[in-house]
């Protein structure tokens, strides 16, 4: 059975201001009054006019595409915290450029302050909830640098599900040594315990000196994205988080 897409309809001032946070509803009303807004090619006379998400809405000729939610790939640098507030340090939200900003943005999941790499920033609470739910086991892939050389014994220990300090049992995880550097490996986790990667390596007598997340679910970080850079994730790629 095919599902019929539900098309959202709303007032045109709401349509525009929801997609352009820099424009308040009263700014949009003024733009309408001054004749700068068109709907399907015709000037809009009243800000209460209804538009739906498939309509061609333009402000000064620029098409405003309606997206209910936004999904942003951030290449997190060290020194930022995955939080919506700056209470314990600078929030990763500071790195989101103005054109991608919206009310309600938050980082879906946490990386430590000294961890780099892929953080999803979104305003879609439902997706984040599913992604972070322990039952979904969304895999996360990390590049790890270790203080001491990688030991082959880690492969079996992690695959069996290692017990970390405090007696917490981890789910089976896949670790692969780097063939060109004995201090490096790639680790895939299917859960997200507090400081999990660091604690797993402490449990086997080693220490993580550098950590970078490169993949969430089936979505790989864009290797051309500079540290601190943000990229909007296309809607067709959003399914890759939960596949």
Q: Give catalytic residue positions.
A: 112
Kindly determine how many residues on this chain lie close enough to bind ligand URA according to the rule CB under 6 A.
Answer: 8
The three-state secondary structure class of 126 is helix
Closest CA to 94 of 109, 111, 115, 79: 79
Question: For residues 141 and 136, what is the distance between their CA atoms, to the nearest angstrom?
Answer: 15
According to DSSP H, which parts of 133-186 are helical? 153-160
197 binds ligand URA (CB under 6 A): yes
215 binds ligand URA (CB under 6 A): no
Closest CA to 213 of 68, 114, 66, 135: 114
**Neighbour tally for 136: CB within 10 Å:** 15
| H/E stretch holding 148 | none
Q: Which residues contact 241 (CB under 8 A, 6 or more apart)?
A: 120, 127, 131, 138, 216, 217, 218, 219
174 binds ligand URA (CB under 6 A): no
Site for ligand URA (CB under 6 A): which residue of 175, 211, 216, 233?
A: 211
119 binds ligand URA (CB under 6 A): no
Question: For residues 97 and 229, what is the distance between their CA atoms, to the nearest angstrom?
Answer: 9
**Which residue, 122 or 196, has its beta carbon nearer to ligand URA?**
196
- The distance of closest approach from Cβ of residue 240 to ligand URA in the complex, given in angstroms and rounded to an integer, is 20
Indicate the pairing of strand 116-122 with strand 208-216: parallel
**Which residue, 64 or 217, has its beta carbon nearer to ligand URA?**
217
- How open is the CA angle 236-81-113, to the nearest 5 degrees? 110
Binding mask 94-113 for ligand URA (x = CB under 6 A): -----------------xx-
Q: Which residues pair with 11 in a beta bridge?
A: 50
**Which residue, 74 or 197, has its beta carbon nearer to ligand URA?**
197
198 binds ligand URA (CB under 6 A): yes
Q: Which stretch binds ligand URA (CB under 6 A): 84-92, 146-154, 155-163, 194-202?
A: 194-202
196 binds ligand URA (CB under 6 A): yes
Q: Which stretch binds ligand URA (CB under 6 A): 2-10, 37-45, 93-101, 189-197?
A: 189-197
115 binds ligand URA (CB under 6 A): yes
- The distance of closest approach from Cβ of residue 196 to ligand URA in the complex, given in angstroms and rounded to an integer, is 4
**Which residue, 71 or 142, has its beta carbon nearer to ligand URA?**
142
Q: Which residues pair with 231 in a beta bridge?
A: 73
Q: Which stretch binds ligand URA (CB under 6 A): 14-22, 150-158, 190-198, 230-238?
A: 190-198
Residues that bind ligand URA (CB under 6 A): 111-112, 115, 195-198, 211
């Amino acid at each position: 059975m095919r599902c019929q897409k539900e098309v959202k309809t709303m007032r045109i001032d709401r349509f525009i201001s929801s997609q352009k946070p820099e424009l308040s509803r009263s700014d949009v009303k003024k733009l309408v009054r001054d004749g700068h807004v068109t709907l399907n090619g015709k000037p809009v006379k009243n800000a209460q006019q209804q538009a739906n998400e498939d309509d061609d809405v333009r402000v000064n000729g620029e098409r405003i595409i309606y997206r209910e939610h936004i999904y942003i790939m951030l290449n997190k640098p060290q020194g930022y915290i995955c939080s919506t507030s700056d209470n314990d340090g600078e929030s990763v939200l500071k790195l989101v450029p103005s054109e991608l900003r919206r009310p309600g943005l938050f980082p879906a999941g946490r990386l430590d302050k000294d961890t780099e790499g892929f953080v999803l920033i979104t305003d879609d609470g439902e997706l984040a909830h599913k992604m972070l739910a322990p039952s979904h086991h969304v895999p996360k892939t990390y590049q790890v640098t270790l203080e001491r050389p990688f030991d082959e014994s880690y492969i079996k220990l992690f695959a069996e599900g290692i017990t970390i300090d405090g007696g917490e049992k981890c789910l089976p995880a896949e670790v692969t040594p780097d063939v060109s550097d004995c201090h490096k490996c790639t680790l895939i986790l299917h859960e997200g315990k507090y400081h999990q990667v660091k604690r797993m390596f402490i449990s086997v007598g080693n220490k993580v000196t550098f950590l970078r997340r490169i993949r969430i679910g089936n979505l790989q970080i864009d290797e051309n994205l500079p540290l601190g850079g943000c990229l909007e994730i296309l809607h067709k790629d959003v399914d890759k988080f939960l596949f």
